[in-house]
Amino acid sequence: MGSSFHSTCSSWTKVVLFSLSLLGLCSATAIEVSYDQTAFIINGERRVILSGAVHFPRSTEKMWPQILQKAKDSGLDAIETYVFWDRHEPVKGKYDFKKNLNFVKFFKLVQEHGLYGIIRIGPYVCAEWNFGGLPLWLHKIPGIQVRTDNEPWKKEMQTFVTKIVTMCKEANLFASQGGPIILAQIENEYGNIMSGYGDAGKQYVKWCAEMALAQNIGVPWIMCQQNDAPSTVIQTCNGFYCDSFQPNGNNPKNPKVFTENWVGWFQKWGEKLPHRTAEDVAYSVARFFQNGGVLNNYYMFHGGTNFERTAGGPYITTSYDYDAPLNEYGTLNQPKYGHLKQLHAAIKSGEKIITSATRTETSVGNSVNLTTYTSSNGGKFCYLSNTDGSQDATVDLPNGGGKFFVPAWSVSILENCSKEIYNTAKVNTQTSLMVKKVDASSAHLTWEWMAENIEDTLSGKGTSTENLLLEQKDFTLDASDYLWYMTTVNINDTSSWQNATLQVVTMGHALYAYVNKNLVGSQFSQTGGNFTFEKPVSLTEGTNIITLLSVTVGLPNYGAKYDLIDTGIVDGPVKLIGKNSVSMDLTNNSWSYKTGLNGEAQRLRKGVWKSGSSNNLPVGKGMTWYKAKFNVPSGTDPVVLDLQGMGKGEAWVNGHGIGRYWPLNVAGSDGCSQTCDYRGAYQSSKCTYNCGNPTQRWYHVPRQYFSNKENILVLFEEVGGNPQNISFQTVSVGTVCANAYEGANLELSCEGGKMSKVEFASFGNPQGQCGSFQKGSSDASTSMSVVEKACAGKPACTLAVTKETFGAQQISGASGNSNTTNINRLAVQIAC
């Protein structure tokens, strides 16, 4: 079968086996992983691999089993995750692998669920994760330049990679030890930005591969988006489509691997909500396998939540839902989940053939291509694609293969090259419309409050002093979003400074300015970049105190030398501009510094909370802490916190950071899509939603964070907001819709609840969409009664979408092979 990589425990001599077993790399159940151009070969079996990304710190340990089970149920073979260096080693040499950072436990669960694992160690990960996953303390190492051929960096990187690999080995996590992990990644998309590092970048790539290989893990290493990847690793592709990806040829056995098939996109504060259709994701996957793909990994399968301050930046939102097949809360994002599940089954039905076959391509019309896999024993499996963005096609396959209708921008999968078992544009799965319900027991919150005590910083008192304006993250080491810069100015001649302006040039992301203890203004960068703040100030004779609070909203995670992008008021200038444009440059004044808020530092143990009637509740007041006891919403549905009315800040439930909130930041008001055409190449600004609404209004509170004793919500409100409308809500399926083609087996489920009322059912040629379905010219009169009988009052039901089911012989349309346009459909809408 010819693999270029052999598992460490394959057919080697006893001597080698003995020495490897000393390294902990062999066990009785070792799984051999190798590959060639058309398959991964796992214990001798030729496989195509369907994988999905689930980042363990973006959910909680108690959520993992359900997420993994749903991944398994959808037909995935593997789960992929990065590891997150900044969280695992927040302080140099002090490691944290507890709770939802316990990646060993995560991979053990992966295996228990019958799944393989792919570990992307990085240790740079991008991932819209704070600072791309690198710990801030790296910058304090003398002479360090990260992600390049630099000794101090390579030493730190190797130490961390070795630490992770050693932990994997100790827990027998590699397939070569009988564990789940079949692949490991070193670095991440370095090729995209390598030119920014010159020749040193090329050297670094070689070093990465050598260092990784020397870890001796017994399974192959991959490098993504690395055109010059050496022959010792597998070179892979990331994007919305990777069907035309061709490995560089350095490694002749390099299988075609799609490490990141972006199923949607991430969101930034102020931006609209991205949506990638189920049809287009399925199209991308099917095109990839049609063109010889061997492994497809969904990025993300479950996106989850950027808890605490883990969101990258600038300006990545707290939700990392990603429009993934499992939504932020771990429940099914339908129809995406179901449509891909059916795709997986269709692809897997051809696995034996496509991994040991010759592949031929035939053009059967404009933009319509037939790919035929023929195995040595004569088995056949075909993909029939129409890559045109608007023209549907009906084609006659050569050699009497039959007539097929292929909608624009779709791929059909043909069993035995003669029967359509799947088409990426025909969605035969339910759409779930989610509802949020205010839980009666937690509807009303009684608040206590406390002003953040900023007397010290308003008086100019910091913890250290410098005669210059410092870079923010280098000073704070990102211990907080907040850095206070304070200085004093002596004014003798008040007449020249009567109507003065304070000018601050900052690298962002936000700024509050106080003069003599009074707030003179604040400013937020539109997208997280630099800006100039200018506000009139009133100065008094003698000493004036200038207090500037600089705020970051997630540190950058992408780009060549992204780690060197400045934040805060570094170098300023900060100026006072007086009469006749006379200016006083304060840049090299003596500046006092203080990281963070007092409330943050004291974790609110100190301080006197105030309470009283809602008339006294501070509204619209910045720098305010709020606290409320609450009852846990009943049931098992996921819980969100509705923070509508609040400005910007951070939230904690029983001490667990549920992330930054910023409902005040509203998504752009135009460019949202009423309808979304799946046809044509997707990019992240196509099909966006949520125009003119808060970028993120609801914040996930995992049930694991609740206590059966007392539950406390704490908010730090930075800008000023009104907490009176805050409520805990549960999220569940409110309505189930479908518009399935004749021949389909339609599965419907309220995912927990029961189907209470069939609101619409029509078998024939129904029109419209969920929420506005209408009967068409043909409609089986039995439609309602059949669906009611099968589904009403039940948590789930399955309907065979056939004429027989609806006793509708009089309904016209093709049956079975769904190869014409005028096929019958069943549209249903059911309330849960």
Known catalytic residue: 650? no
Residues 190 and 126: beta-carbon distance below 8 Å:
no
CA distance 829 to 788: 11
Residue 242 as a binder of ligand GAL (CB under 6 A): the answer is: no
Residue 323 as a binder of ligand GAL (CB under 6 A): the answer is: no
CA distance 101 to 56: 7
Residue nearest to ligand GAL (CB): 126
Residues 751 and 733: beta-carbon distance below 8 Å:
yes
Q: What is the DSSP string of 564-592?
A: G---SSTT--EEEE-GGG-EEE-TTS-EE
Shortest Cβ 131–ligand GAL spacing (Å): 13
Shortest Cβ 126–ligand GAL spacing (Å): 3
Question: To which residue do tokens 């908010």 refer?
Answer: 715
Considering the candidates 80, 260, 271, 452, report the single residue annotated as catalytic: 260
x/- binding map, residues 440-459, to ligand GAL, per CB under 6 A? --------------------
* Residue 483 Cα distances to 473, 551, 664, 714, angstroms: 9, 7, 22, 21
Residue 128 as a binder of ligand GAL (CB under 6 A): the answer is: yes
Shortest Cβ 566–ligand GAL spacing (Å): 22
Shortest Cβ 2–ligand GAL spacing (Å): 31
Q: Binders of ligand GAL among 186-215, rule CB under 6 A?
A: 188-189
Comparison of 322 and 625: residue with beta carbon closer to ligand GAL = 322
CA distance 736 to 27: 48
> Which residues are CB-contacts of 159 (< 8 A; sequence separation ≥ 6)?
none
Residues 243 and 301: beta-carbon distance below 8 Å:
no
Comparison of 109 and 127: residue with beta carbon closer to ligand GAL = 127
With CB under 6 A as the contact rule, the residue among 38, 100, 235, 238 that binds ligand GAL is 238
Shortest Cβ 17–ligand GAL spacing (Å): 37
Question: To which residue do tokens 């696995």 refer?
Answer: 351
Known catalytic residue: 189? yes
Residue 280 as a binder of ligand GAL (CB under 6 A): the answer is: no
Q: What is the DSSP string of 672-739?
A: --SS----S---TTSSEE-TTSBS--EEE--GGG--SS--EEEEEESS---GGG-EEEEEEEEEEEEE
With CB under 6 A as the contact rule, the residue among 71, 118, 119, 127 that binds ligand GAL is 127
Comparison of 262 and 593: residue with beta carbon closer to ligand GAL = 262
Shortest Cβ 324–ligand GAL spacing (Å): 11
Task: Select from 120-128, 358-366, 505-513, 814-822 the region that touches ligand GAL (CB under 6 A).
Answer: 120-128
Comparison of 192 and 367: residue with beta carbon closer to ligand GAL = 192
Residues 442 and 633: beta-carbon distance below 8 Å:
yes
Comparison of 126 and 408: residue with beta carbon closer to ligand GAL = 126
CA distance 647 to 651: 12
Q: Binders of ligand GAL among 794-813, rule CB under 6 A?
A: none
Shortest Cβ 185–ligand GAL spacing (Å): 10
Q: Binders of ligand GAL among 541-560, rule CB under 6 A?
A: none
DSSP classification of residue 544: E
317 Cα distance to chain centroid: 10
Comparison of 312 and 633: residue with beta carbon closer to ligand GAL = 312
What are the structure tokens assigned to 713, written together? 């919500």
Peptide bond into 314 cis (omega under 30): yes
Shortest Cβ 265–ligand GAL spacing (Å): 7
Shortest Cβ 132–ligand GAL spacing (Å): 8
Shortest Cβ 610–ligand GAL spacing (Å): 43
CA distance 571 to 592: 14
**CA-based end-to-end distance of the chain:** 52
Count of residues of this chain found to bind ligand GAL when the rule CB under 6 A is applied: 9
> Which residues are CB-contacts of 38 (< 8 A; sequence separation ≥ 6)?
46, 255, 292, 294, 354, 355, 356, 357
Comparison of 188 and 506: residue with beta carbon closer to ligand GAL = 188
CA distance 104 to 97: 8
CA distance 749 to 219: 40
With CB under 6 A as the contact rule, the residue among 204, 240, 266, 682 that binds ligand GAL is 266
Residue 273 as a binder of ligand GAL (CB under 6 A): the answer is: no
Residue 86 as a binder of ligand GAL (CB under 6 A): the answer is: no
Length of the chain in terms of residues written: 832
Task: Select from 119-127, 346-354, 391-399, 677-685 the region that touches ligand GAL (CB under 6 A).
Answer: 119-127
With CB under 6 A as the contact rule, the residue among 50, 118, 121, 126 that binds ligand GAL is 126
- The CB density around residue 596, as the number of other CB atoms within 10 Å, is 15
Comparison of 89 and 260: residue with beta carbon closer to ligand GAL = 260
What are the structure tokens assigned to 702, written together? 């995992």
Considering the candidates 189, 328, 351, 717, report the single residue annotated as catalytic: 189
Residue 258 as a binder of ligand GAL (CB under 6 A): the answer is: no
Type of residue found at 642: D
Comparison of 239 and 402: residue with beta carbon closer to ligand GAL = 239
Q: Coil, strand, or helix at residue 363?
A: strand
What are the structure tokens assigned to 584, written together? 């006083």
Task: Select from 123-131, 288-296, 343-351, 434-442 the region that touches ligand GAL (CB under 6 A).
Answer: 123-131
Catalytic (active-site) positions: 189, 260
Contacts with ligand GAL, residue ranges (CB under 6 A): 125-128, 188-189, 238, 260, 266
